[in-house]
Amino acid sequence: MMQNNPAPALLRFIFSSLLLGMMAAYGVSLLSVDVPIDLQARYLPPGASHWFWHR
């Protein structure tokens, strides 16, 4: 009878937990950055970057 190797599942869990923690830390770091929001920008025509580089 073969025994299951728990190492791949454990490594996958550690890797995903590490990535989730890094994404959470990045999100928390963005909270301290003041993001300028121009509420009047909706009435302006789109710039050149909208037509050539916007995806």
Taking alpha carbons only, the member of 26, 27, 24, 6 closest to residue 16 is: 24
The reported pTM is 0.52
Q: What pLDDT is recorded for position 34?
A: 80
* E-strand stretches of 12-55: none
Burial 28-39 (b: 16+ CB within 10 A, else e): eeeeeeeeeeee
Mean pLDDT, the chain cut into blocks of 10 residues (55 residues total): 81 97 92 77 72 65
Residue 16: C-alpha distances to residues 13, 26, 29, 53 (Å): 5, 15, 20, 32
Q: What pLDDT is recorded for position 19?
A: 98
Q: What pLDDT is recorded for position 54?
A: 58
